[in-house]
Amino acid sequence: MKAAGLLSAAVCVAGLIGAADPLTAAAHGRHHRHHHHASAPISVVAEGLNGPRQVSAHHGKLLVAESDSGLITSVDPRRHRTRTVVSGLTLPQGVTSIGNKIYIAAGEAEPDDDPSTPDESTGGLYVARPGGTPRLFADLLAYELANNPDGQIQFDANGQPTDSLSNPYYVIRDRRHHGYLLVADAGANAVLAVDRHGRVSTFFVPQVITSGVCATLQNNTPSGFGCDPVPTGLAYGPDGLLYISALASEQPGEGRVYVVAPNGRLVRVIKGFSAPTGVAVDRNGTVYVSELLEGAPADPGNPPPGFDPSSVGQIVAVPRFGPRTYAQVTMPSGLLWSHGKLYSSAWAVAGFLGIPDAGQVVTVGRSAFHRP
């Protein structure tokens, strides 16, 4: 399963509607927002967003991809002000900037679309200037169809796609010599490099996961089994290595963070996460991983009485030495370490609960993390 545009997550979270009607859940969201203040472990710097995914730094401010509203929003974290800088997008999931250009990873719009006939509405890497019209910069689906980096079976005997082929989810500046952009393509199961002319190449392809429950799950791999790694988040650490979060087909405990050298060599793997959707690394080497659906009921269609959707989600801190700690953040997705602060999008899939304008960007302080 390569569904990482939160399409399968939507199915899970949508089941929580029975736990609380939208008005009740929205009230939880408002309370969750307004009781924070500057010295709180978790502090809100932006609210009223719709489907916030990646958060990136931009000239002293933040850029947020709002997947549900098709917007790229600029956030002033000091004044708590927001403004739209790019509009008219379909499912923007990732965003970064180079100079005055904004690059947007737009995901797969509909899971039933036939990706063999690509157009600009089915995803890709776009570029726009603030206030301008986005245009396709790199056709990642065309690259997948021509190169198939993960080597999986793309089409069945009837010519229908066996799975999502391209679903760009995250984009960052490529810090390698002569590098430009790196994209986590969740559908392609690959991290792709894009040069300044929009030319695409393969940087890193994680192997299919075959441990635990993944060993017996059917898949469109040559062997017929395994979990797709599904890259979702990218971040550089102070060691100059690239950290890649991987959703692992949303199988509990099988999520990964791959640590990769500039030449694409795998250095190490950090295991034991559940459906990670973002990663960040602080100056001390502590790795932060967002688990969007942690705490969701095992049977989302039949949640226990009184279940509170605001309790879903957490961020895991993995220090270089010592035990892991955990911070409860509601439905976190993209993470960013910038200027000594950890930023996270929150209530990232609230739209699937019928709660508009509930998305946030928050800072998560050290005191928010605790031992289990």
Q: pLDDT tens for residues 355-372?
A: 899 999 999 999 999 999
List domains and CATH numbers for the chain: 7-368 (2.120.10.30)
| Better-scored residue on pLDDT, 299 or 208 | 208
| Better-scored residue on pLDDT, 148 or 300 | 148
For residue 290, the cross-strand partners are: 278, 315
Looking at residues 260-289, what average pLDDT do you find? 97
Distance CA 63, CA 96 (A): 7
Question: Is 28's pLDDT higher than 60?
Answer: no
| Confidence band for 39, pLDDT divided at 50, 70 and 90 | low
- In SS3 terms, the chain reads as CCCCCCHHHHHHHHHHHHHCCHHHHHHHHHHHHHCCCCCCCEEEEEEEECCEEEEEEECCEEEEEECCCCEEEEEECCCCEEEEEECCCCCEEEEEEECCEEEEEECCCCCCCCCCCCCHHHCEEEEECCCCCCEEEECHHHHHHHHCCCCCCCECCCCCECCCCCCEEEEEECCCCCCCEEEEECCCCEEEEECCCCCEEEEECCCCECCHHHHHCECCCCCCECECCCEEEEEECCCCCEEEEECHHHCCCCEEEEEECCCCCEEEEEEEECCEEEEEECCCCCEEEEECCCCCCCCCCCCCCCCCHHHCCEEEEECCCCCCEEECCCCCCCEEEECCEEEEEECCCHHHHCCCCCEEEEEECHHHCECC
pLDDT of residue 95: 98
pLDDT of residue 116: 44
Instruction: Name the most confidently modeled range: 24-33, 77-86, 217-226.
Output: 77-86
pLDDT digits (tens, 9 = 90+) for 303-324: 888 889 899 999 999 999 999 9
pLDDT of residue 14: 47
pLDDT of residue 341: 97
Which of 68-82, 151-165, 243-257 is the least confident region? 151-165
| Better-scored residue on pLDDT, 274 or 160 | 274
pLDDT of residue 352: 83
Region class of 204: left (phi > 0), else alpha (psi between -120 and 50), else beta? beta
Q: In which order are the strands placed within the sheet that holds 135-138?
A: 92-98, 101-106, 124-128, 135-138
pLDDT of residue 315: 98
What value does the mean pLDDT of the chain take? 87
